[in-house]
Structure formats: C-alpha cells, structure tokens
C-alpha cells in the first residue's frame, strides 16, 4: 500500500540558464485523482511534467513519484509511469496493431494487444498504417501506448490538442476510466472545458508560479456570477437598482447599451471553502431583486442573461492580472 501521494511536488524550481521557468510550486496528486495544470504558453507546465517524468533534475525543491525521486531513481519508477509523448515518433509504415505489438515487446506486464486497440477506440483501424491515421487517431494511439503497461501514474501533456470535439470526448472517456481504476493522472491542457470536465483539482500556473488552485468550484467561487440585460432607452444608469450590493456597469455591445452586474458570491458557512450552493446564493438573491424591481417599475428586461462564473473568467482574470 502506498501511503504517500502518488505525485508530490514541494517548492519545485527549474531554470534554463538565468531564466527561472518554474519558481517554487507545490502540489500533490493522489491515486485515483486527476490534477490539471493550466496556464498560458510558457507558464512552465511542460517543464514541470518533464521533471516528474525524470527527464531533468530539480534546481530546487523536491519531487516524488510513487515515493521515489524520478530523476535519481528513474529505473525504479519509469516502468510504473505512463507518458504520452507529444510526438510519438512512430514508424509510419507499421500498422496500428504492429505498433502496439512492437511496444508490447518492451513493456513489462503489458495489456493484451486487442484490448489496447479497443481502449483507444481504434479497432476499425487496427490494420491501417500509422501514416494514414488522422491527427486525433495518432494522439489516441499515443495514449494507448502510454496505457499499455497499466501505469500507476500517467502524464498527459495536452493530450487532446488538435482533436475534433468527438475525438476529444472519446479521449475523456478513456481517461476517466483510467482514473476510476486508481491511476493518478497529471494533465496539462489549453481547453478549460477539458479541465472542468476531468479535473478533481487543478492549478493555474502563470510565469512559473501557481496563481490559484483547488477544485473547479473552489477556484471559480468569488470570481463573480453575472446578470446582464439591455439598458432600456428611457432609463439612466443611476436609476438601476443595486443587486445584492452590486452596482451595474454599462457598456456598449453591438451598438447597444448593456447593463451588467457582477455579483459577489454568497457568504459560505464559516470555515468551508466557498463553493456549490452557497456560492450561488448571491446570484439567486440578485436575480430576485432585479425581477421584483422590473415588475414594480414595469421595465422590460430585453436580452436578460444570467451566467455563473466559469473557469474561463478566472483564467482570463489570472492572465490579465498578472500581465499588468
């Protein structure tokens, strides 16, 4: 039994010459958990993954994979890791089945060939040469190879980049099964929807630092649910009511004035992170106040929109805030 986290990162620093690419980050990933690292290009995601994969030693801090230093003890840990290569470097003339067979040759306790092919959803392509696969199919073959040895820890660096939405969904299903089987997964992605769908917890990395981390609900809470509608022509901004303490902002969208409220999240029970129903309380109260006001004043709310804060709001806010 492993009592340590499957992946442990404590104060990790990495440099390229004078440039600090990772500036002291810490997180843990447990067995059966998926942790997503998000961040703009150059944030340090790949550098972090490569360090955990044992490709480079740390410049500061410590990293542990399955209780071992992945660089110094690479041979102990590597057989228990699955790594999805960015560019698989396949032999283009081998078929899908031959490629998997080839890799099985040097993977201890490898999955059965047909099981691996089916897992990747490539059963119909088993006899097709790798050069004839689409980009998304090649990525899924990459994933099948990473999973061939039933890894306890899986590293996925932008696994669905370049996939169409259907292939992306299929890949999510595979990854969810792997997590349910108890594998610890560390994933990087540019698709916030992917993180929202898959991640148990996540961190947003910016210039080598973790700006925010937690579950999706924790990260999103407090970033403002929004209510907006077109400003009725006969009204001045000052006549709009405050909603749950928030004042309206007016901006012009498509040639029309739009009133928009960003609501603070509701007060969570003390001691617990703001998330879930408590975080929605502000939105519900604000909406109620708005509808009652509109009814009393006989105001029609054209283009009324109610939107919960999303990971995208937080992501953009983090990137903008840090760019200032």
List contacts with Mg ion (CB under 5 A). Answer: 45-46
Comparing CB distances to ligand ADP, the nearer of 149 and 208 is 208
Quick one: which of 8, 35, 45, 185 contacts ligand ADP (CB under 6 A)? 45
Among 5, 8, 44, 121, interactor with ligand ADP by CB under 6 A? 44
Q: In the structure encoding, which two tokens stand for residue 159, read together?
A: 């696994």
Q: Which two tokens stand for residue 140?
A: 């899924």
- For residue 64, the surrounding DSSP H or E stretch is strand 60-65
DSSP 15: E
Alpha-carbon torsion 179, 220, 243, 300, what sign? negative
The string of DSSP codes covering 129-179 is: BGGGS-HHHHHHHHHHHHTTT--SEEEEESTTTT--HHHHHHHHHHHHHHH
Burial 165-174 (b: 16+ CB within 10 A, else e): eebbebbbeb
Question: Which residue, 61 or 222, is less far from ligand ADP as judged by CB?
Answer: 61
Q: Give residues 262-281 in contact with ligand ADP (rule: CB under 6 A).
A: none
Of 41-49, 71-79, 225-233, 268-276, the window that binds ligand ADP (rule: CB under 6 A) is 41-49
Residue 44 binds which entry of Mg ion, ligand ADP, none, CB below 5-8 Å type-dependent: ligand ADP
Binding of residue 57 to ligand ADP (CB under 6 A) = no
Residues 6 or more apart from 31 whose CB is under 8 A from it? 2, 6, 152, 182, 183, 184
Contact call for residues 283 and 308 (beta carbons, < 8 A): yes
The smaller minimum CB distance to Mg ion, of residues 45 and 64, is found at: 45
Sites for ligand ADP among residues 1-30 (CB under 6 A): 16, 19, 21
From 41, 109, 236, 270, residue interacting with ligand ADP (rule: CB under 6 A): 41
Q: Closest distance between ligand ADP and the C-beta of residue 14, in Å?
A: 8
Selection from ligand ADP, Mg ion, none that 41 binds (CB < 5 to 8 A by kind) is ligand ADP
Give the Cα separation of 183 and 119 in Å (integer): 15
Say whether residue 86 binds ligand ADP (CB under 6 A). Answer: no
Question: Distance between CA atoms of 191 and 37, rounded to whole angstroms?
Answer: 11
| Cα radius of gyration (the chain) | 24
Is residue 42 a contact residue for ligand ADP (CB under 6 A)?
yes
Structure tokens at 42: 């150059």
Contact stretch for ligand ADP (CB under 6 A) within 45-53, 101-109, 124-132, 168-176 = 45-53
**Which of 26, 46, 161, 260 is close enough to bind ligand ADP by CB under 6 A?**
46
How far is Cα 133 from Cα 151, in angstroms, rounded to an integer? 25
Q: How far is the CB of 203 from ligand ADP (least distance, A)?
A: 12
State the minimum distance, in angstroms, from the CB of residue 22 to ligand ADP. Answer: 7
Site string for ligand ADP, 127-166 (x = CB under 6 A): ----------------------------------------
Out of 12, 25, 33, 39, which residue is the one contacting ligand ADP (CB under 6 A)? 39
| 52 is a contact residue toward ligand ADP (CB under 6 A) | no
What secondary structure letter does DSSP report for 233? T
H or E stretch covering 277: helix 276-297
User: At a CB cut-off of 8 Å and minimum separation 6, what does 306 contact?
Assistant: 225, 226, 227, 283, 287
Q: Are 7 and 68 in contact (CB under 8 A)?
A: no
The residues of the shown chain that bind ligand ADP, judged by CB under 6 A, are 16, 19, 21, 39, 41-47
């Amino acid at each position: 039994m492993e009592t340590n986290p499957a992946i442990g990162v404590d104060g990790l620093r990495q440099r390229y010459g004078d440039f600090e690419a990772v500036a002291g980050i810490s997180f843990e990933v447990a067995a059966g958990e998926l942790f997503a690292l998000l961040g703009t290009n150059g944030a340090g995601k790949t550098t972090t993954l490569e360090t955990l994969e044992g490709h480079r030693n740390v410049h500061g801090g410590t990293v542990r994979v399955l209780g071992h230093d992945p660089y110094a003890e690479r041979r102990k840990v590597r057989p228990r890791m699955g790594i999805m290569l960015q560019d698989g470097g396949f032999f283009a003339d081998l078929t899908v089945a031959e490629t998997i067979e080839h890799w099985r040759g040097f993977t201890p306790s490898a999955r059965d060939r047909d099981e691996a092919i089916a897992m990747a959803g490539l059963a119909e392509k088993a006899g097709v040469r790798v050069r004839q696969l689409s980009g998304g199919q090649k990525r899924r073959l990459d994933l099948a190879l990473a999973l061939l040895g039933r890894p306890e820890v899986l590293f996925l660096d932008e696994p669905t980049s370049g996939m169409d939405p259907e292939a992306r969904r299929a890949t999510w299903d595979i990854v969810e099964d792997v997590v349910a089987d108890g594998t610890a997964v560390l994933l990087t992605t540019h698709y916030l929807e992917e993180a929202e769908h898959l991640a148990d917890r996540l961190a947003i990395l910016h210039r080598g630092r973790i700006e925010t981390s937690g579950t999706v609900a924790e990260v999103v809470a407090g970033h403002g649910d929004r209510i907006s509608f077109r400003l009725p022509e006969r009204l001045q901004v000052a006549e709009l009511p405050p909603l749950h303490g928030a004042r309206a902002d007016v901006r012009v969208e498509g040639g029309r004035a739009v009133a928009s409220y960003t609501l603070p999240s509701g007060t969570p029970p003390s001691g617990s992170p703001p998330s879930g129903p408590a975080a929605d309380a502000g939105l519900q109260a604000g909406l109620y106040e708005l509808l009652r006001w509109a009814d009393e004043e006989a105001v029609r709310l054209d283009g009324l929109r109610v939107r919960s804060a999303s990971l995208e709001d937080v992501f953009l806010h983090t990137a903008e805030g840090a760019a200032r």
